[in-house]
């Protein structure tokens, strides 16, 4: 099946370079990653069958995780031990299978991204280097998430050492799951769920980051091109056609701007629900993770690493959202500083000067509102929203700690 999974290509037909977290996401997560557009009927059928079976596995894990919480509802320490895995399971079941339902739309978005938006290193080395610096936090976060998964995967090792038969996560089954013919298949399913959840966590963050930062680079490029065009026209010292030429340049810039905003709206449509779900679960998840890490740090190393990963994930996404918001917010000011008044001063064509001023006014009006990604229009993805979530999480922690 991995050979039939979609592989992005550049406009020239060559394979597009993908950062290692996205490549790993493509390899590990057959539920979320789309197939090639020309995949055969049997391949599509098999993919849908695997998604359906995966959904059943998630439902089974959901039940036994929740059964653990019910069985330990009188013991707050044990309850909070199983709470993080249950919360992330429910969150990922919603996010992952919502994406699975819209795989074709996601593939179309990636195709448009690599065809129109992607900034290549060969064409724009400085912008590309800037994008890599901006994406560094998401790369580090991917490594930390893999370390968190590795901590859970140490459970089979301790099982062998201490002659136990424990699952990777806190679960209570309605039958004796320690019997070998039950234990081995269930442990394999634990591993599979771990891979799907972890790859979804760091994979989607990196995909969103790539889309947002390359879009941000195109907006930066837009401003540079407008200022460069004005300077070149003014250097020619032509008083007759300078306003006409500048109006044509400005019209082209506005069309590019409209195309970028349309792509941004496609990104918003694709991710808005999943971002809302992510942020909705984040406060409770951070609270439970920090509580376990705070109360028994040496006995909960996996929860400490997981807390750091979640904390970094939110900060990285908020930072990227704030960068895009700031760039598009400054775009409205770009037209004020684009030397259009110098063009009018140099031009002798009164009629064209009037048309140019009307076009500049329209451009300013169209860019008066910055572009930003939201979670179902309830909040903007920015550092401000992330800090509010973190503040709420620590408020919950203070309450739980006082009860303890």
* pLDDT tens digits, one per residue of 236-294: 766 557 788 888 888 888 899 999 999 999 999 999 999 999 999 999 999 999 998 88
Q: Give the 3-state secondary structure of residue 165.
A: coil
pTM for the predicted model, two decimal places: 0.92
Q: Which residues contact 173 (CB under 8 A, 6 or more apart)?
A: 64, 67, 182, 186
pLDDT of 347 higher than 90:
no
- The pLDDT of residue 99 is 96
Which is nearest to 272 in space by CA: 385, 380, 384, 374? 374
Per-position DSSP letters for 223-236, written without gaps between them? HHHHHHHHHHHHHT
* pLDDT tens digits, one per residue of 190-241: 999 999 999 999 999 999 999 999 999 999 998 888 888 877 777 776 655 7
Average of pLDDT values for 29-43? 93
* pLDDT tens digits, one per residue of 107-127: 999 999 999 999 999 999 999
Half-sphere exposure for 106 (CA within 13 Å, toward CB): 24
* Per-domain boundaries in the chain: 20-403
Distance CA 130, CA 138 (A): 14
What is the token pair recorded at 74? Answer: 């009188």
């Amino acid at each position: 099946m991995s050979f039939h999974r979609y592989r992005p290509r550049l406009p020239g037909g060559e394979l597009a370079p993908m950062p290692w977290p996205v490549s790993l996401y493509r390899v590990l997560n057959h539920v979320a990653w789309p197939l090639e557009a020309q995949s055969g009927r049997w391949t599509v059928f098999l993919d849908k069958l695997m998604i359906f079976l995966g959904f059943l596995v998630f439902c089974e894990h959901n039940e036994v995780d929740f059964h653990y919480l019910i069985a330990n509802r009188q013991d707050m320490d044990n309850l909070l031990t199983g709470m993080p895995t249950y919360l992330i399971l429910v969150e990922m079941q919603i996010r992952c299978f919502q994406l699975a339902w819209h795989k074709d739309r996601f593939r179309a978005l990636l195709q448009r991204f690599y065809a129109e938006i992607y900034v290549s290193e060969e064409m724009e080395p400085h912008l590309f280097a800037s994008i890599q610096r901006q994406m560094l936090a998401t790369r580090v976060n991917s490594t930390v998430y893999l370390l968190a998964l590795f901590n859970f995967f140490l459970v089979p090792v301790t099982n062998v050492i201490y002659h136990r038969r424990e699952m990777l996560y806190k679960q209570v089954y309605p039958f004796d799951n320690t019997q070998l013919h039950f234990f081995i298949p269930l442990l394999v399913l634990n591993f599979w769920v771990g891979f799907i959840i972890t790859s979804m966590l760091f994979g989607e963050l990196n995909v969103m980051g790539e889309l947002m930062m390359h879009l941000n680079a195109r907006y930066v490029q837009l401003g540079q091109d407008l200022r460069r065009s004005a300077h070149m026209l003014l250097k020619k010292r032509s008083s007759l056609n300078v306003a006409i030429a500048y109006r044509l340049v400005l019209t082209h810039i506005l069309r590019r701007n409209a195309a970028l905003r349309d792509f941004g709206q496609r990104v918003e449509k694709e991710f808005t629900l999943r971002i809302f779900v992510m942020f909705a679960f984040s406060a409770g998840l951070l609270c439970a993770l920090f509580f376990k890490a705070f109360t028994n740090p040496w006995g909960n190393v996996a929860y400490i690493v997981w807390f750091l990963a979640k904390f970094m994930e939110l900060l990285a996404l908020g930072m990227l959202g704030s960068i895009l918001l700031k760039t598009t917010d400054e775009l409205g000011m770009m037209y004020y500083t684009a030397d259009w008044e110098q063009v009018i001063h140099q031009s002798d064509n009164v009629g064209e000067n009037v048309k140019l001023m009307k076009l500049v006014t329209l451009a300013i009006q169209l860019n008066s509102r910055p572009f930003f990604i939201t979670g179902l229009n309830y909040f903007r993805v920015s550092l401000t929203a992330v800090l509010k979530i973190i503040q709420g999480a620590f408020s919950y922690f203070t309450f739980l700690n006082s009860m303890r």
